[in-house]
Amino acid sequence: MNNKVLISVVGPTAIGKTALGVYIANYFDTEIISADSRQFFKEMSIGTAVPSLEELAAAKHHFIQHISIEHQYSVGDFEKEAIAKLHELFKKHDVLVMVGGSGLYVKSITEGLDDFPEINPEIRQNLNTLLEQQDLQSLKEQLKELDPEYFEKADIENPHRVIRALEICIGTGEKFSSFLNQKKGKRNFDIIEIGLTADRQIIYDRINLRVDIMMQAGLLAEAKKLYPKKHLNALNTVGYKELFSYFDDEIELEFAISEIKKNTRRFAKRQLTWFRKNNKINWFDYKTKPEEITKFISEEINTSK
């Protein structure tokens, strides 16, 4: 595996990662691993901004709409499957590309995950039932009591993270945070990390425009089709949960759309906070010509040989 290179493209939602990833993959005549956890699900297309048919045809993608929303799929599952896929693809390519804004999923590949013990699946089922019957607030309060250290630094608006931390706390009797930042094994390929960014207002404007385009493309109808399964974990996400509230007659459609925009902007802010902690990322303005970025990558590859 000597001199094998994974190029990781990250950044906030709506910044242009997919287009850059396709360009880089074509430049190096290679394939793309998706590390966007919302794009894994077959039934979710418009609301997750999966690559267009043209983009999928322009470069071979893996882990795009490969599982059903009915399927429980963890970051640990992704790490195992994606590392196996990388090893397989590195047999025919020296360079591979990974694209995605899901920080923990990207980290699972670039650094590896912390090692957690096996937990009785009934605990997660019970927590999911609690989330369904009550709300996220009650789970957040429980997490604050069981692991205040993790509560202070976690993305506690993300129900998947809250439930994951709680199931470890309950299943082991130990704090979730006590399992974090253990020494991990090194990857046997080199990693070049590329980040796209822009002024915050530009990112927010791009998000607002994207949501409008999604609505025009049929997001309302897509959400309506998925509404009977709104209790599933995969659907407890921005772009769908707001429209489910509209279907429940809790809010007006116009307000639901404004909430999608607001919650997506908040998500982008959390993405930037996560990625900016990583000093290995080489940041580029979103308007940087892709030729400049591939030139930088080529120089980095040549330097490391």
Is 16 among the annotated ligand-binding positions? Answer: yes
Is 11 among the annotated ligand-binding positions? Answer: yes
Is 17 among the annotated ligand-binding positions? Answer: yes
Is 59 among the annotated ligand-binding positions? Answer: no
Is 273 among the annotated ligand-binding positions? Answer: no
Which string of DSSP letters, residue by residue, matches the chain? -TT-EEEEEE-STTSSHHHHHHHHHHHTT--EEE--GGGGBTT--TTTTPPPHHHHHHS-EESSS-B-TTS---HHHHHHHHHHHHHHHTTT-SEEEEE---HHHHHHHHT---------HHHHHHHHHHHHHS-HHHHHHHHHHH-HHHHHHS-TT-HHHHHHHHHHHHHHSS-GGGGTT---PPPSSEEEEEEEE--HHHHHHHHHHHHHHHHHHTHHHHHHHHGGGTTSGGGSSTTTHHHHHHHTTSS-HHHHHHHHHHHHHHHHHHHHHHHTT-TTEEEEETTS-HHHHHHHHHHHHHHH-
Is 85 among the annotated ligand-binding positions? Answer: no
- Listed residue (89, 92, 85, 35) closest to 64, CA to CA: 35
Contact between 269 and 13 (Cβ < 8 Å): no
Distance CA 163, CA 186 (A): 28
- Listed residue (124, 177, 175) closest to 146, CA to CA: 175
Is 290 among the annotated ligand-binding positions? Answer: no
Is 303 among the annotated ligand-binding positions? Answer: no
List the binding residues for substrate.
13-18
Q: Which residues are annotated as a binding site for ATP?
A: 11-18
Q: Specify binding-site residues.
A: 11-18
